[in-house]
Amino acid sequence: MGFLAPWFLAGLAAVGLPVYIHLLRRHTTTPRPVSSLMFFERGTQSSTRHRRLRYLLLFSLRTLLVLLLALAFANPFVRRSSAAASERLVLIAIDNSFSMRAGTRLADAKQGALEVLASRKPSERAQVMVLGGELQVLTQPIQDAGALRRAVESIQSGDSHGNFGELGRGMRALTETVHTPVELHLFSDMQSSNMPGNFADMVMPGNVSLMLHPVAKAMPNWTVESVEAPGQLVDPKRARVLAVVAGHQTPAATRTVSLVINGVIAATKKVEVPADGRVTVAFESLDVPYGASRCEVRIDAADGFSADDASNFAVKRSDPERVLFVHQTSDSRSQLYFGAALAAAAQSSFVLQSVNVEQAADVDPTKYAFVVLSDVVSIPSIFENTLLRDVQNGGNVLIAVGPSATHRQRLPVFGESAADMRYYSRSGGFSTVGQVDASHPAMKDAAGWTDAKFYYAAVFDPGHSRVAARLADGTPLLLDKQIGQGHVLLFASGFDNVTNDLPLHPTFVPFVDHTARYLSGMEGLSGARVVDSFVQLRSATNEAAAGSQGATVEIVGPDGTRPLSLQEEARVQSFQLTHAGFYRMKFASSRDALIAVNPDRRESGLELIPEDVLRLWSGGADTSAKAETSTADAKEKKGAYSLWWWFMLLILMAALAESLVASRYLGTQREEV
Amino acid sequence: MMQRFLDPAVLAGISGLDLIAKTVVDGFVAGLHRSPDFGFSQEFAEYRAYTPGDDLRHVDWNLFARTERCYLKRYRGETNSQLTILLDASNSMNYRSHRVSKMDYARYTAASLFYLAIHNQRDPAGLIVFDDEVRNYIRPSTRPGQLHRLLIGLEQAEPKARTDFMKPLAHFQEFLRRRGVVLVISDFYESPEVIVKTIEPLRFHGSDVVLFHVLDPKEIQPELRGPSILVDMETEQRLEVIPEYVKGEYRRKMDGHLQQMRERTRAAGLDYHLLVTDKPLDAALSEYLFLRPGGR
């Protein structure tokens, strides 16, 4: 027993009050005259004694009342078993992250879980969960041993990256509704990479006792850590594939690395992988056929974890896509700089086709990867309408706003007019880029932007647009506005090397390259992703419009099945890539994509969490599986049970009794006449 | 209806003792005697043979004419019994628990008796006021103005000092040479044995002695709501007393005291009456009239 607020025990001194009133305070009275004391006798001594005896019950009640009040404020509690053993919930959590594919880890974990379930009392409820990228509940808390066993046996190995932080969060959410003691048995390989950045995320709530069951030991592992390959290429001879082969807790060894294209080994190399190190392998050509190809880089690891010996990537080979560049007749500089940058970009897949404004009326923008409007005052209305419809359906436009464009009231396609013009050169200076959103696809390689000098910029209200870059004075420089399924990228200056000197800087080429890839949609149509990443299938803001057009997506998973129902394909906005392999997708904008999905390579590092960290996590409990398999012997967690309400009930009863006794003793004495 | 004028609480509102006495007696008499012919002084009592020296005015000449014998006609009013009231004026008589103190009650009683005796019965009446000594003595007489003197004596009898029967009663013997009715009005806070022993000699002259024991109702059944300090009004002595004692032992002692007073006075041939100050005065008057026909 203890007190939550022991300082209130100082209130026990108030017990002296009834002691003073009843025993110490002298009774004072006004002398009363009587005719004679002939028949009276002195009663002082007997009076006090009698008074003490008579009011003993009242004194006791008052003392008890003060005592209980002080104790109630001190908030006493007792430690007791917070629930009977039959109320305890046995929770089985099995890690099925990608690393559990190594050896017999998952099978061992399932076997251990079945043993724990078999050793529990029949009256105890149990629940089975799976810990992958997120915590997945397989059963409700039940006593049915058969259902629990089937749930454990149904667990399959996954491709996700495990995270013990998810387990901690899941337990905290669980204990908000489950107040009985929870005995959590975690069967995992205790991979150190599964620990969250903050240890506090994986700390268990107070009524959860964690029993750790490590099912693996550290082992050497070679893996293809990363592959750098173009997602789309035009000339196979100009394409390179760079692969990094890494060894975790491995000795130095020679490994054979193979490039496999559509199931056929296209090239093989032997590399020397240093001890516990990594090496880069380059394949100088990627001879893939036209269309999408399934490629992978594979090593002969000869270790216990074969699932991570290959890394997938998808490559789409096609003829160069055309980019329509619309410019003023008088402006030939912009075309020069933009075209040169587009051609210089690595693995360039675009051919610039420039037309002046007058020629644009007969052009169909849907035949181009994207359209660039370079400082145009106006464009033919028929072209603008066609272009706007194309953007609505998923087409993309890049608009550069030079000094000429500001003569127009409204910018074509973008639909807004410049609020102001900033001529920095007139004030004898220039401005620079002050803020860059590196997460924007067009600004992936933003180093060097701060060196560019901007002499002119048009000012547009960002509104609902995403600002990818701002000048030093806060003027938005690069805005991304979504219209329908498409995007309009607005560059608030020109490409002519007059309004700024950006085209002369090396950073202009990657900017044009990334912008071209982003606007052409190439970014999302090929390449490689990580398991549990999301693919945006359609625009969220235009879901109704897309739905009205009947635009559905089609997804075929690595196993050849369609993971989405027809209804979901018509409505769902994003899709999570839960398995490793190749996903074939057809987006709402009618574009086809082949996406390779690889497990998170942190799963390949099979280092275990240090023993002391495990002890700290489990609260000092013995982590050996043998000692923990017996749930019956598990120590019951003692909980602090507050006695406050009981004390308040006693106070109420004491107050009532005191009132009754006091009214009996201190009320008006009735004389018998 | 006149009976309510015997209530001491009503009498306390009347200022003069003479008026109080008249009110009490008239009310009492009117309540007692419904016949208008009844009169104490006119009531025939007996015939007595004439002896030389008797007043010839009382000779029944009609009888003499018929029988030629000389008889005196005697009336009750002419029994000429002397009334002497011994009034205790000690401090304890000042006690009151309501509007009328014991002294007030004693005054009303004495005044009413004086009025009844002198005005109605034409008896000589006297007063002795005492505490621990004789403070005032008014010789019994039927002279004109006697009632007035007695009433003044009553009004001047302010309680003081303490009661001591032994000392003043030694002098009573000197004052009470003639037999009659002797009324002692006191609260008798003394041993019944001492009281009887002191008062009993008054009978030796053939007087009828009546003890009017005046007590306040709260003296018989006192109330205490807690341990209290009581102060003796005569001795100033203080005593702490608890309610339980008052409710139990005190009452037993008081009842025993009253019982002893009754028994010992009866045994000594004394009449005893307990007068409680919240009761009407008729008990005292009735007692007097009861004794009056004796005519000794």
- Say what the pLDDT of residue A624 is: 44
A663 to chain B, any CB pair closer than 8 A? The answer is no
Which of B92, B96, B232, B240 has the most A C-beta neighbours within 10 Å, making it the best mutation to test the interface with A?
Answer: B240
Say what the alpha-carbon torsion angle A496, A502, A505, A510 is, to the nearest 10 degrees.
Answer: -100
Contact A33 B231 (CB under 8 A): yes
A42 touches chain B (CB under 8 A): yes
Average pLDDT over residues B50-61: 84
B230/A42 touch (CB, cutoff 8 Å), yes or no: no
Same domain for A105 and A19? no
- A528-583 residue pLDDT tens: 788 888 887 776 655 444 444 556 788 899 988 888 888 888 888 888 888 889 98
Q: Is A33 part of any domain?
A: no
Tens digits of residue pLDDT in B85-107: 888 888 888 888 888 889 888 98
**Residue A262: inside a domain:** no
What is the SS3 assignment for B180?
strand
* Spacing of C-alpha A272 from chain mean position: 37
Q: Are residues A484 and A558 in the same domain?
A: no
A356 and A437 within one domain:
yes
- The C-alpha atoms of residue B118 and residue B290 are separated, in whole angstroms, by 16
CATH number, span B81-294? 3.40.50.410
State which residues form the domain around A140: 85-218+607-636
Considering the domain architecture, whether residues A519 and A401 belong to the same structural domain is answered as: yes
* Of the residues A523, A542, A558, the one at which a domain ends: A523
The pLDDT tens digits for B154-192 are 888 887 777 677 777 777 777 776 777 888 898 888 888
Nearest to A452, CA basis, from A440, A469, A466, A427: A469
The answer to whether the CB of A433 falls within 8 A of the CB of A452 is yes
Contact indicator for A545, A558 with CB cutoff of 8 Å: no
Cβ of B240 and A36 within 8 Å? no
**Domain endpoint, select from A498, A523, A548:** A523
- φ, ψ (nearest 5 deg) of residue B72: -100, 135
Does residue A50 belong to the interface with chain B, where contact is any CB pair within 8 Å? Answer: yes
Judge if A625 and A504 occupy the same domain.
Answer: no
Considering the domain boundaries, does residue A73 fall inside one? Answer: yes
Strands A321-327 and A370-374, sheet pairing: parallel
CA distance linking residue B71 with residue B59, whole number of Å: 6
Which among A478, A504, A523 is the end of a domain?
Answer: A523
Q: Is residue A314 part of a domain?
A: no
Assign A86 a pLDDT band (cuts: 50, 70, 90).
low
Answer yes or no: is A39 within a domain: no
Q: Pick B239's closest partner by Cβ from A37, A668, A669.
A: A37
B235 contacts in chain A (CB < 8 Å): 37
| pTM, to two decimals | 0.52
**Contact flag A29-B229 (C-beta cutoff 8 Å):** yes
Joined tokens for residue A150: 């089937």
pLDDT > 70: what percent of chain B? Answer: 77
pLDDT tens-digit profile of A344-388?
A: 875 667 888 888 888 888 888 888 889 999 888 888 888 888 888
Domain total of chain A: 4
pLDDT of A93: 92
B242, A673: Cβ pair inside 8 Å? Answer: no
Poorest-confidence range of A243-257, A291-305, A454-468, B167-181?
B167-181
- Interval A467-503: pLDDT, tens: 999 998 889 999 998 888 788 999 989 888 888 888 8
Distance CA A202, CA A616 (A): 11
Asked if A561 and A451 sit in the same domain, the reply is: no
Cβ-proximal residues to B78 (8 Å cutoff; 6+ apart), any chain: B41, B45, B58, B122
Name the closest residue on chain B to residue A32, using Cα atoms: B230
Write down the domain spans for chain B.
Answer: 44-77, 81-294
Q: What is the pLDDT of residue B33?
A: 45
- Using an 8 Å Cβ cutoff, are A225 and A213 in contact? no
Both A108 and A195 in one domain: the answer is: yes
The more confidently predicted of residues A618 and B264 is: B264
Shortest CA distance from B241: residue in chain A: A43
**Torsion-angle region of A394 (φ positive above 0: left; ψ -120 to 50: alpha; else: beta):** left
Same domain (yes/no): A659, A542: no
**d(Cα A449, Cα A507) in Å, to the nearest integer?**
6
Mean pLDDT value across chain A: 82
Q: Residue A29 and residue B249: Cβ atoms within 8 Å?
A: no
* Min Cα separation B54/chain A (Å): 51
Residues in chain A with CB shorter than 8 Å from the CB of B216 are 35
Judge if A418 and A554 occupy the same domain.
no
The token duo for A596 is 């390779």
Q: Which of A215, A186, A197, A200 is nearest to A621 (CA)?
A: A186
Quickly state the pLDDT bin for B1 (edges 50, 70, 90): very low
Take residue A156 and report the two structure tokens written for it: 């399959």
> Does residue A205 lie in a domain region?
yes
User: What amino acid occupies position A331?
Assistant: D
Q: Which residues of B touch A (CB under 8 A)?
A: 92-93, 95, 102, 187, 189, 216, 219, 221-223, 225-235, 237-247, 249-250, 253-254, 257
CB-nearest partner of A50 from B221, B238, B242: B242
Task: Tell whether the model's pLDDT for residue B242 goes beyond 50.
Answer: yes
Give the bridge partners for B125, in sequence order. B83, B141
Which residues, other chains included, contact A234 with Cβ-Cβ below 8 Å and sequence gap of 6+?
Answer: A317, A318, A319, A320, A347, A348, A349
Local confidence band at B2 (pLDDT 50, 70, 90 cut-offs): very low
The reply to whether A347 and A205 lie within a common domain is no
Residues of B in Cβ contact (< 8 Å) with A47 = 227, 240-242
Q: Are residues A387 and A366 in the same domain?
A: yes
**Cβ distance of A34 and B219 shorter than 8 Å:** yes
Q: What is the CATH number of the domain that holds A116?
A: 3.40.50.410
The answer to whether residues A91 and A152 belong to one domain is yes
Closest CA to A588 of A544, A624, A632, A649: A544
